[in-house]
């Protein structure tokens, strides 16, 4: 019996959410949801193409190199070589997450593109699905990942990497849509996906590569859960709210109402944020403070006596690192990001180099930067998790005191990217690898993604170019 014919009040939260996600259909999506989904797809593919050349990406490609693969789906790299659906989902997730330039949903503290786009596109290529099918799947996956992330955060964030632990659920939901699973099969998919939750923050202490492993694994787990559900494999129907389920296991304080509140209202994908800087999103409001200070004041970095960044607890716990040892650590260091912006006036991926991290001027300035949890700001964050405020105070040798506060950095829904800005980001990330002609050809198709009848055509005429 379909869920819609049962007593809704008697359903558990997982069933209600499964029923809601099953009901999401492309024809019911608002123009804003479709437009944002297209932007999410463009943003992720651009970031992934750039990330395909990074060290972690090369390691993962070497891992799969001698493993047999059907040519089912494209790798998001120059040449768009085809591999199996599983390999494409995992590899594209690695490519898209390695530079820390992929999108973020603030309220759930989750990167949703990397745990939906890779599996949705790969599976859609295998099954010759349309752009509309992919958009529907991605919107559904974003909804799942964001709602579960909101329910466990900020409590779980101290130890659990949210993108990793909700990733299989988001990927599984996206895969369920592409596979046209029934409502009952969707619930089983969610049960199997949820039991595979994994991903600890411990990698930050050594700046190791685990973060991209989390997202690759999430896509594989979600795909597996959906395909097993289609074959009749069952999963726990109370995997989210159950006494021994995901939410109680991950969070000492949680909010189950986040799973079910506001059905039919604004979709979570419309609340998504995009990144202008190649580093942890928790640093971005502070970095934008610095951009604004530089624009309005004549500042010589060596004339700074002290700089205090007051922020919320989750930002300090994640990114207060006065001594990063490598590029990955620097991306999670407010001290480095602030100092680098003051000195180099940009934070593209190239800034996070060993030379810049060890630069004496950068190191001197980092030593004058203090990160503090400000109780009032932390309270604001807990009341409104989509607001990630930083308040920066700079004291100069000449006695000047400069203050700047940012609550919503560029890319947030309240300070959103236009298509012009998103296209510029795509060109900057992909132009050197695809060539301007290749980048423009791909952009032109991404702009009309909802009109594509077979997603495979997205990569046609780009295939067979140079490989990275």
Tally of structural domains, the chain: 2
Q: Hey, how many other C-beta atoms are within 10 angstroms of the C-beta on 236? A: 18
Of the three residues 246, 271, 296, the one that is the final residue of a domain is: 271
The reply to whether 134 and 258 lie within a common domain is yes
Vertex 431, ends 429 and 435: CA angle to 5°? Answer: 155
The reply to whether 117 and 174 lie within a common domain is yes
User: Is 136 among the domain residues?
Assistant: yes
User: Is 435 among the domain residues?
Assistant: no
Of the three residues 271, 289, 307, the one that is the final residue of a domain is: 271
What is the spatial distance between Cα 75 and Cα 304, in angstroms, rounded to a whole number?
A: 46
User: Is 44 among the domain residues?
Assistant: yes
User: Is 14 among the domain residues?
Assistant: yes
Residues facing 390 on adjacent strands: 311, 406
Give the residue among 222, 154, 152 at the shortest CA–CA distance from 189: 222
The reply to whether 252 and 340 lie within a common domain is no
pLDDT value, residue 467: 41
Query: Please, which pLDDT band fits residue 11 given cuts at 50, 70 and 90?
Result: confident
User: Is 393 among the domain residues?
Assistant: yes
Task: Give the domain CATH number at 363.
Answer: 3.30.1330.120
Tell how strand 390-396 and strand 304-311 pair up.
antiparallel
User: Is 194 among the domain residues?
Assistant: yes
The reply to whether 310 and 190 lie within a common domain is no
What is the spatial distance between Cα 243 and Cα 194, in angstroms, rounded to a whole number?
A: 14
User: Is 429 among the domain residues?
Assistant: no
The helix/strand/coil state of 457 is: helix
The reply to whether 285 and 264 lie within a common domain is no
Residues facing 373 on adjacent strands: 311
Task: Give the domain CATH number at 32.
Answer: 1.10.4100.10
User: Is 32 among the domain residues?
Assistant: yes
Cis geometry, peptide bond prior to residue 154 (ω within 30 degrees of 0): yes
Q: Which residue has the tokens 């198709």?
A: 445
Tell how strand 73-74 and strand 82-83 pair up.
antiparallel
Give the residue among 267, 235, 318, 239 at the shortest CA–CA distance from 146: 267
The reply to whether 258 and 370 lie within a common domain is no
Residues 199-251 have pLDDT tens digits of: 999 998 888 999 999 999 999 999 999 999 999 999 999 999 999 999 999 99
Residue 195 has which token pair? Answer: 């039991």
Residues 392-451 have pLDDT tens digits of: 999 999 999 999 999 999 999 999 999 999 999 999 999 999 998 999 999 999 999 999
Residue 100 has which token pair? Answer: 């820390």
Of the three residues 251, 271, 291, the one that is the final residue of a domain is: 271
**Full 3-state SS string of 289-315:** HHHHHHHHCCCCHHHEEEEEEEECHHH
Q: Find the domain containing 353 and state its range.
A: 281-409
DSSP code for 105:
B
The reply to whether 73 and 145 lie within a common domain is yes
């Amino acid at each position: 019996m379909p869920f819609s014919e049962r007593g809704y009040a008697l359903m558990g939260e997982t069933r209600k959410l499964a029923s809601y996600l099953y009901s999401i259909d492309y024809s019911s999506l608002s123009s804003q949801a479709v437009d944002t989904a297209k932007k999410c797809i463009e943003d992720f593919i651009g970031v992934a193409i750039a990330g395909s050349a990074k060290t972690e990406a090369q390691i993962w490609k070497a891992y799969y190199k001698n493993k047999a693969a059907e040519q089912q789906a494209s790798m998001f790299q120059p040449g768009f070589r085809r591999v199996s659906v599983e390999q494409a989902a995992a590899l594209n997730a690695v490519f898209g997450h390695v530079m820390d330039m992929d999108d973020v949903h603030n309220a759930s503290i989750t990167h949703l593109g990397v745990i939906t786009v890779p599996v949705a596109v790969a599976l859609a290529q295998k099954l010759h699905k349309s752009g509309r099918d992919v958009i529907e799947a991605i919107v559904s996956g974003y909804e799942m990942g964001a709602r579960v992330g909101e329910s466990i955060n900020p409590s779980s964030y101290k130890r659990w990497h949210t993108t990793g632990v909700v990733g299989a659920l988001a990927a599984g939901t996206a895969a369920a849509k592409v596979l046209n699973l029934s409502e009952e099969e969707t619930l089983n998919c969610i049960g199997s996906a949820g039991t595979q939750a994994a991903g600890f923050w411990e990698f930050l202490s050594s700046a190791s590569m685990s973060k991209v492993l989390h997202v690759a694994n999430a896509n594989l787990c979600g795909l597996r859960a959906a395909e097993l559900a289609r074959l009749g494999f069952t999963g726990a129907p109370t995997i989210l709210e159950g006494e021994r389920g995901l939410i109680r296991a991950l969070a000492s304080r949680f909010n189950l109402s986040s799973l079910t509140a506001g059905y039919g209202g604004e979709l979570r994908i419309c609340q998504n944020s995009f990144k202008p800087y190649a580093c942890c999103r928790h640093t971005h409001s502070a970095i934008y403070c610095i951009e604004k200070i530089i624009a309005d004041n004549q500042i010589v970095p060596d004339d700074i006596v002290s700089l205090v960044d007051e922020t919320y607890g989750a930002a300090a716990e994640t990114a207060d690192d006065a001594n990063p040892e490598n590029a990955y650590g620097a991306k999670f260091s407010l001290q480095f990001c602030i100092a680098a912006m003051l000195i180099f006036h940009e934070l593209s991926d190239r800034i996070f180099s060993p030379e810049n991290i060890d630069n004496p001027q950068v190191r001197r300035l980092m030593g004058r930067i203090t990160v503090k949890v400000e109780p009032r700001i932390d309270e604001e964050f807990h009341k409104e998790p989509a607001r990630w405020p930083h308040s920066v105070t700079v004291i100069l040798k000449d006695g000047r005191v400069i203050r700047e506060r940012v609550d919503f950095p560029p890319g947030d829904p309240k300070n959103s990217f236009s298509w012009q800005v998103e296209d510029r980001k795509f060109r900057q990330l992909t132009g050197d690898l695809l060539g301007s002609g290749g980048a423009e050809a791909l952009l032109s198709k991404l702009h009309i993604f909802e009109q594509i009848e077979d997603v495979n055509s997205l990569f046609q005429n780009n295939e067979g170019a140079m490989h990275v």
